[in-house]
Amino acid sequence: MPLWKIYHPVNAFSDVDKKGIAQAITSVYQNFMPRFYVGVTFQEVSESNIYIGGEPHSEFIRISIDHIARTFQSVDLKITFFNRINTLLEPWIESRGYDWEMHVDETPFDLWTIQGHFPPQEGTPDERRWMEENRASARTHA
């Protein structure tokens, strides 16, 4: 469900960094949904391919996220989420001197499939089974 796209300067992150970032992000979601819902992708963008305010920016990390499985139910939850993410990512981004920006879009729950299955609703027995088994399977409830 969350699909994270992290656009970053060439060689900003090692493979170890990337796995660490992906695991930090996954930790934010895994108590609320199956771990395998969390997709994180990295894409290098060279300096001549990113402009901020009309100028090339060689030290910029742009994060674009689609939330599908859940929508925020209150302003407090939104603030908590962003503060937690910004804190978690601090060692890889702010501490290294990068500028960064991120935004989330919320897309329709019922326009989403995994392995051809429509994911179960939040809190259902099927969702609990998907969390336990950490994989998609046929639903046993409507």
Q: Can you tell me the distance from the alpha carbon of 77 to that of 109, in angstroms, rounded to the nearest whole number?
A: 19
Min CB(3)–its own copies separation in Å: 7
23, two tokens:
């695991």
Phi and psi at 29, nearest 5°, equal: -100, -25
Q: Does residue 61 interact with its own copies by CB under 8 A? A: no
x/- string (CB under 8 A) for its own copies, residues 80-119? Answer: --xx--x-------x----xxxxxxxxxx-xxxxxxx-x-
Calculate ∠ Cα 110-112-114, nearest 5°.
135
Binding interface with its own copies (CB under 8 A)? 3, 7, 15, 18-19, 22-23, 25-27, 30, 34-43, 45, 48-56, 60, 62, 64, 66, 68, 72, 75, 78-79, 82-83, 86, 94, 99-108, 110-116, 118, 134
